[in-house]
Amino acid sequence: MIAEARRLLAFGMRFVEGILHPGRISFLVLFVTDRCNAQCPYCFNTFLPHLSPSTRQDAASLLSLDEYARIAGNLNPLFQVVLSGGEPFLRDDVDAIVETFYERAGTRLFSIPTNGSLPDRAARKLERMAASCPLATFNLIVSLDALGSKHDALRRLPGGFEKALSLCRAALKLRPSRGNVNLVVTTAVSDDNLGEVGALQSFLRRALPPKGWHHNIQYDQRLGSRRADVSRLQEKARDGKTNPDGAPGGLWERFVSRWYVRRINDIILDQLAQDRMIYRCVGGRKIGVVMPDGGAYPCEPFVFEPDYRRFPRRNLRDFGYDFKRLRREPGYLRMMEFIEQGRCRACPWSCAATASMSYEWRNWPLWLRGPAASS
Ligand code: SF4
Ligand code: SF4
């Protein structure tokens, strides 16, 4: 009980610290590997240079644990780290990277999206991280697209559904002893699974315990702003709201699924419909993205949105692994000005919307507004 209270206090204090320091990065995405054992044809990350065959990095050029330690030391205090990939659990020292950020950057929230294909290894590492970082909260985010063989076929990952389900169960089993582990099952509603999400939801309600997890259903964001068809996205978002059995879990899980996730989706759909940014994005200011080779960006979409290709790419290795130094560079400052002036094309990335709605107080009134008529 006391440990739980200390963790929640640490979480809250670090988050508030992030709000009180608007110029300091609080949300860092680390692409810790460019390897993946799945081949999702719709992979968001195939737009990124490290997953494109022509620009694939060799292992020697990937950031080492020591280099991550230097990045972490320069970002203290840092509220949240997302460990992305590829499949992050394919990187053997993923737990050591987490421990480094916990110790050196004081990170108190770790989110780990995974395809769930390595349940034993992932559960082992999750338990170790949760034990060695007791003041941190861990969100394990397991992707499930559809039921059984349909999921496996979509991801070209034989046995992937059963393995992912087994990881979900293992994570939930940890909760009585490791209260700092949360499970999020995430489903992106795309053309490939439209109309099938309700069946998946019902199955999960039966297959998993009633509490300790929530189902994050989002429309497909992987098309980027140029190719986003707003009416199709609205249809997908509506499909995500169709839940024959209601949201799983207790009050907190219902709050997250019904209000928070849907509000973020509504905001993004509104801005895509209006074809303009309707919130002030904190990309580059509160958000940082680090590629496996040290490439540094203000957000994920900046890498593949055509409007942004003119901005030069930079590597943290050339700036002493220090975001503060990088952000003083004239070209980076010009890019930041572009973002601050709201000149990005309406962006569908929900992580940016969530961080921007949290850290930029001028966005807060948007939480209270209902969806526009366009939604
Ligand atoms: S599991 Fe994730 S990173 Fe791997 S191919 Fe699929 S979407 Fe891409
Ligand atoms: S609006 Fe989108 S593309 Fe622009 S900085 Fe924010 S997240 Fe990146």
Q: Determine the residue type at 351.
A: C
Closest alpha carbon to 94 in 162, 86, 295? 86
- Per-residue confidence (pLDDT) for residue 375, from 0 to 100: 47
pLDDT at residue number 46: 64
Which amino acid is residue 19, in one-letter code?
I
Segment 194-217 mean pLDDT: 86
Predicted local distance difference test score (pLDDT) of residue 373: 45
What letter would DSSP give residue 300?
S
- Pick the residue whose CA is nearest to atom 6 on ligand 1: 40
User: Across 116-125, 228-237, 323-332, which has the greatest mean pLDDT?
Assistant: 116-125
| d(C-alpha 315, C-alpha 17), whole Å | 27
CB of residue 302 inside a 6 A radius of ligand 2: yes
pLDDT band at 38 (very low <50, low <70, confident <90, very high): confident
Residue 141 Cβ inside 6 Å of ligand 1? The answer reads no
Is 27 a pocket residue for ligand 2 (Cβ < 6 Å)? no
| CA–CA–CA angle 181, 75, 30 (5° rounding) | 55
pTM: 0.91
b/e sequence 327-346, b meaning 16+ C-beta within 10 Å: beeeebeebeebbeeeebbb
Q: Are 108 and 138 in contact (CB under 8 A)?
A: no
Walk me through the domains of the chain, giving residue ranges and CATH numbers: 2-368 (3.20.20.70)
Q: What is the pLDDT of residues 317-327, one digit of tens each?
A: 999 999 999 99
- 283 Cβ closer than 6 Å to some ligand 2 atom: yes
Which residues lie below 8 Å from residue 8, measured CB to CB, with a gap of 6+? none
| CA 277 to ligand 2 centroid distance, Å | 9
Could you tell me the distance, in angstroms and rounded to a whole number, from the CA of residue 188 to the centre of ligand 1?
12
pLDDT for residue 244: 46
- Ligand 1 centroid to residue 55 C-alpha, Å: 17
